[in-house]
């Protein structure tokens, strides 16, 4: 049997970190996932519920915000419960095993009080970094004789 789900979409709200009574981190959030096609040419979106536990929950709440693209891998979980009115309900959600960033880190405009004044002069181009490895010529290499006895198979 296989129970695997992989989705990529945008968070519909900022995830909030909660703790169980035993102190385990958990977060529940919704991801808007566009369908790849539609009959009438209009894009349709599914809103999928996700739950993340422990370190995954901590990671999501620390690094992701509303509107950000997120990739989630996990499993599908269906559970039934009774609501406040006594009606039996069914909930289907993805239990996240792993999450990944899907876009570049947004530029943050950090305000500091001790920032240097902005100059009207054009910025100097950055200095070219030194190469990590030195260029070698073919003369630097030495042929090493090998026989079939040196091979492990």
Q: What pLDDT does residue 117 have? A: 41
Does 101 or 125 have the greater pLDDT score? 101
Question: What does the block give as tokens for 131?
Answer: 């190469």
Distance CA 82, CA 89 (A): 6
Q: What pLDDT does residue 43 have? A: 82
- 0.85 exceeded by the pTM? no
- Listed in sequence order, the DSSP H helices in the chain are 54-63
* Helix (H/G/I), strand (E/B), else coil: 124: coil
Distance CA 68, CA 103 (A): 8
Q: What is the pLDDT of residues 57-74, one digit of tens each?
A: 999 999 999 999 999 999
Does 151 have pLDDT greater than 60? Answer: no
Question: What does the block give as tokens for 134?
Answer: 């030195």
Q: What is the pLDDT of residues 111-142, one digit of tens each?
A: 333 334 444 455 555 565 555 555 555 566 66
Instruction: For residue 70, give the nearest of 62, 78, 81, 82 by alpha carbon.
Output: 62
Domains and CATH numbers, the chain: 1-38+45-76 (2.40.50.140)
Length of the chain (residues): 153
Question: What does the block give as tokens for 67?
Answer: 């509107």
When pLDDT is cut at 50, 70 and 90, the band that residue 152 belongs to is low
Q: What pLDDT does residue 120 have? A: 47
Does 99 or 128 have the greater pLDDT score? 99
Distance CA 12, CA 16 (A): 12
Q: What pLDDT does residue 129 have? A: 58
Q: Element (H or E) spanning 30, and its range?
A: strand 25-34
Does 79 have pLDDT greater than 80? Answer: yes
When pLDDT is cut at 50, 70 and 90, the band that residue 39 belongs to is confident
Find where tokens 């690094």 sit: 63
């Amino acid at each position: 049997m296989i129970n695997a789900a992989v989705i990529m979409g945008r968070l519909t709200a900022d995830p909030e970190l909660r703790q169980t009574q035993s102190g385990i981190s958990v977060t529940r959030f919704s991801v808007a996932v566009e369908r790849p096609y539609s009959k009438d040419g209009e894009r349709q979106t599914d809103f999928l519920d996700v739950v993340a536990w422990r370190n995954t929950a901590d990671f999501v709440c620390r690094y992701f915000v509303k509107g950000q693209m997120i990739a989630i891998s996990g499993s599908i979980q269906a559970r039934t419960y009774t609501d406040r009115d006594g009606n039996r309900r069914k909930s289907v959600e993805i239990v996240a095993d792993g999450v990944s960033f899907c876009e570049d880190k947004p530029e943050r405009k950090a305000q500091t009080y001790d920032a240097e004044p902005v100059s009207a002069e054009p910025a100097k181009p950055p200095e070219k970094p030194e190469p990590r490895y030195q260029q070698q010529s073919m003369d630097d290499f030495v042929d090493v004789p090998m026989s079939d006895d040196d091979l492990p198979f």
